Amino acid sequence: MTSSVFGRAAEPIVVDVWSDVVCPFCYLGNAVLKEAVEQFPHGSSVQVRYHSFQLNPGFPVGEAVLADDYLAKQYGMPKAQIEASHAQLSARGAQSGLDYRFPTSMMINTLDAHRMIHLAKAHDAEPAMVDRLFRAQFTDGLNLADHDVLADLAAELGLDRASALDALKTKAYEKDIRADLARARELNISGVPFFVFDNRRAVSGAQPVETFRKALDMIWQDRAASPA
């Protein structure tokens, strides 16, 4: 690799994303990031990597309840407050082509869903799996704590269904998931979505597309100004 700008630019800009599939803001943030990459003149040079994060790690594995009921019970949120928050987020999501259907969304422990993301990563299908899990959670109202549901989604993306079930049964990718969670603690990530651009700049939350574009532009300029 030479020290020329062209040599540096040949390396992909890596965007590391910490998110959780039951986080509606993560769904929106993921969609907006994709918009920013599509608008970025050097979008083909951007690589997005997903990392596990659990908003509710203490939720019982295998169980599922309606998310709205969980919010009302766990945090004492009035129904009107929940509905107002959903309406605002649904409107923002619609601008990015997302169809939030909050009344059917379930609260689960997302550990097994993260296993499916790591399984997909091993088969170069990570972004597609992340998208599918978000849609299953927030549009289809599927129970992502159900192993058969997760295996069906894996098969839908062309992965082997039996292998997906085996990964769930054997608790595969545990070390990878724990490494993601540990790295999040090192970075003091307390909420998601959280985006790290080239290990240099961070963006927290589902920000407007302009914020992501600015981060990409600045990283590109940083690379042009620094030797390889």
Tens digit of each residue's pLDDT (9 = 90 or more) over 180-198: 999 999 999 999 999 999 9
Report the 10 Å Cβ neighbour count for 221. Answer: 10
Residues of the chain above pLDDT 90, percent: 92
Please give the average per-residue pLDDT across 50-72, as a whole number: 97
Q: What is the CA radius of gyration of the chain?
A: 18
Global pTM reads 0.94
Average pLDDT of the chain is 94
Residues 67 and 104: their CA atoms lie apart, in Å, by 8
Q: What is the DSSP letter of 205?
A: S
AA identity, residue 224:
A
- Three-class SS of residue 203? strand
pLDDT class of 4 with cuts at 50, 70, 90: very low
Strand-pairing partners, residue 17, are 50, 195
Topology classification of domain 5-225: Glutaredoxin (3.40.30)
| CA distance readout (Å), 59 to 107, 111, 131, 138, 163 | 8, 10, 23, 18, 26
